[in-house]
Structure 1
Amino acid sequence: MGPAAERIPGGRPDGQAVIAGHGWYVRGTGDMQMPSGTWGCFYVEDGIGLRQSVGLAIEKGEQIKPTKIVGPGKPVPNYTVAPGPCSARSSNPTWGRSIWRSAGSTATRGAEEQEMTYYPDLSPYSYDQSSRDMLNVGWLSPKHGYSKGLVDERVVEALKVLCAAYENQMRGIHHCEFCDADRPFVFGGPTSNTKVLLGSAEIRVEGEDGTYYAAPNLMLHYMTEHEYCPPEDFCQAAVRAAGLEAAEELTLVE
């Protein structure tokens, strides 16, 4: 594991150390057995991202109620923890979807399943809690067909600008199920110089009629590499939100 990208002073009230990073579960890798003296506490259901605010609360030692607890000797999915930079919250190990408890240490595994949660385009948003009603866009899965076609380059440029906001950032990573791309990224933001990793956050925009849309930022990869064509109204909303000039039509569905 690489050096910590960030160290937050103060630590946890219980004195335990936490190392936070990302991970995933690759289907077909089977289960592992929970070691003796260790309990696994899961904080979200399979396929649902762990919100950044919840992950930080766990790391800081706040009392968050698990959705599931797995005791010693019980089977759990064989998660993979990603190597590289992590965030040290005090001085020991956390990794993100569940939290492993053993004598004198705490570790949270940020292990999201590889399979992307699927929602049809323009269906009601329900992936996470929200204070407003929104419609889904771009939550694709190989098990379901999706709209293909031509998309104006302004839409891609607009989404690159917007994705740098990392809306609804989650712990864990959604990988592309249509190819073997290893954590795709784009250079986005207002000046196109911010490296934005795709697969753990959303893009949210408001349409001219007041409709809100929520899309996984991985949709940018779907558009540029897999011919995904988002709904026209969403594209118009994204271009306006990025401050670009829209056209009468921004998409041409096959």
Structure 2
Amino acid sequence: MESRTNENRKRLFRRGTSSFSRDLARVCRKRIETARGRRAFVEKELKPHADEWEQAGLFPRELFGAFGKLGYLGLRFPEEYGGQGLDYWYTVILCEELVRCQSLGVGVGLLVQSEMATSVINRYGTAEQKREFLAPAIAGEKIAALGITEPGHGSNVAGIRTRARREGGDWVIHGAKIFISNGTRADFVTLAARTGDEGARGISLILVPTDAKGFTVGRALKKMGTHSSDLAELGFDDVRVPLGNLVGEAGRGFG
């Protein structure tokens, strides 16, 4: 009886591993095909222009739209908002293939859009925020920046001085950011600002359209590498945005 039970277990194990192997092979084939497609795009559309964009200090805005049409700006985001609903390995493939264009700045600008400035909206944003900010960013119709680093404080998030206070139905934001990728041409900034006491628990994330009154772009900053990706100083002089632009809970922007 025990021998028969063990044999049944072995048979089920072999059947299970065989099914798993087939599924794994299918997924791997799909990922390999994806990599080949992205490599062809990079080799044809990006690499020939790499030196030109590095010298110009900026890659064309149209690249965001091109990547949006290909689905590259929303690989892991829900299909409901224009994303692909894929897993993290497809992002890894995209990163690996972008390196082949020989302009690191292109990858930086595009990945700030898809992996840094918008991922928090996907995870914690409201349906309205996703429609207004996430969906057009996935499509490449809007450019996003992440506003954290500050003059005098660097990327010490717990030490942020940019402050947002409640006034009526608005957040009123005052402060400055520096070294912000995509900053010279962003349509909105996912901004880390202090809404509470000192320390990490006083930080919130607020979506700030760059056409808001009081928002300014300072000088574009020069750097040693990644020239085709722009860096900028940003100013917030009592910028008003609706209270509904808060992402998640107040005071939870640090985690």
Q: Which one has a bigger Cα radius of gyration? A: 2
More helix by proportion, 1 or 2? Answer: 2
TM-score clears 0.5 = no
TM-score (norm 2): 0.27
More strand by proportion, 1 or 2? Answer: 1
TM-score (norm 1): 0.27
